[in-house]
Amino acid sequence: MKNAIHSLLVTLISVTAALLCSCGNVENIKQNVSGSPGEIIVVINAGEWESEVGEILRNDLEAEYQVLPQIEPKFKLYNINPDNFSSLFWIHRNILIVNISPDVEEDKTLITKDVWAAPQTVVKVNAKDRESAIKLLREDIELIDNTFEQAERDRIIANNIKYQEANVRQVVGKMTGGSPYFPMGFTIKKNDGKFIWISYETTYVSQYVFVFKYPATSLDDLTVDRIISESNAALRLNVPGPVEDSYMITAALPDPQIKFVKYQKRDFAEVRGLWEVQNDYMGGPYVIHAFYDRSGENVIVLMGFVYAPKFDKRNYMRQVESIMYSFEWMNLEEK
C-alpha cells in the first residue's frame, strides 16, 4: 500500500506542477483531473478503513471485473486519511469521502460533479456512527459502484465525441441507422454491406468492434443462445484466424453472462464472455450489445473485442464498452 500511495503521489505532484505552469492567470476554469482510469481515492480514517465499513467498500469496488481471462479488480482503491486529504488530492478523477461523525444530521450519500477539477466525480457518504455507515453503505454500495463506473464511461465517451472518426460513424450509420462514436485511430478493416469490422491496432494491443444484423423472427431474438449462435456464424464467415482453417468464435467456457440494460432511452441485451480462435491459441474478452433496429425487423449486434496478451485488459475493455454505449440513432442528414 505504501508503494502504491507513493506512486500516486508522484503522479499527482507531476500533474499539479504541469497544470500550475500552464494555467497562467485564467480564472474560473477547473483543472483537468489527475489519476489513472479505474482509480478511486477513498478518504476515510484508518480505523474505519479496517472495519466493516472499509470491508464493504473493498468487497464491492475491488471485486473482480466481469469476465476477463485473468482476475482484475473493477477499481483500484487508495485510502487517504482525512487529515492528509490536501489540495494535492482534490483534483483526482474519482473521490469517495466517508464522513462518520456525531455532527451528521442525516445519514445520506451525496453525489457531486466537478468539485475541484473536471471531469470529476465526488461521492460523499455521511453517517452519524459506524453502525449507521454500515447500514447506509449496504443500501447504497451499488449506487456508488455504478456512479464511478458511469463516470469512467462518460469521460471516454466525451473524448471519443470530441476526437471522433466521423467517416467510421457514417459507414456504420448507413448500414444500421445509427452508430457509436469511434475515437481517432479506429479504421474500417472490412465492410461488405452486411458485416463491418472496425479496428484499432498497435504492436501489442488490438481493439475491435464488429457490426452486423440478423433477422428478428421470434421471442428468442435476444436470448443468450440466439445471440451467441448468430455471432459465431458471423465470426466464422468474416473473421479468419492467422493460420489455415482458423477463425474467431466465442468460447464455451465460462458461460456467457447476459443482462438487459436500459441506457439513454435505449434497451439492449449485453452479453459478456471470452473469445478464442478455432485451431489456434489467441483469445481474450468480448462484450456484445444486441438490440432491435428502428423497424423491429432486425437485431443489430455490436461486438467489442480486446486482444492484449502482454497486458491487463480491464481498461482496454472499458474503452471498447464505452464506444458501444455511445450508440445513437442518426437522422437522414447524418448518414
Q: Where are the domains of the chain?
A: 2-161, 164-329
H/E element holding 278?
A: strand 266-278
**For residue 319, what are the CA distances in angstroms to 152, 183, 276, 303?**
9, 10, 20, 13
Q: 460533479: which residue's cell?
A: 113
Query: With bands split at pLDDT 50, 70 and 90, how would you rate the model's confidence at 18?
Result: very low
What is the structure's pLDDT at 120?
99
The amino acid at residue 262 is K
Collapsed DSSP state (helix, strand, coil) of residue 92:
strand
Is the pLDDT at 264 greater than 50? The verdict is yes
Mean pLDDT of 84-97: 97
What is the structure's pLDDT at 29?
82
Summarize pLDDT for 21-40 with one digit per residue, the tens.
444 444 468 999 999 999 99
Summarize pLDDT for 112-154 with one digit per residue, the tens.
999 999 999 999 999 999 999 999 999 999 999 999 999 999 9
Do residues 284 and 275 touch, judged by C-beta distance below 8 A?
yes
Say whether domain 164-329 belongs to CATH 3.40.1000.10: yes
**For residue 303, what are the CA distances in angstroms to 13, 54, 67, 288?**
39, 36, 15, 4
Cβ-proximal residues to 281 (8 Å cutoff; 6+ apart), any chain: none
d(CA 299, CA 293): 6
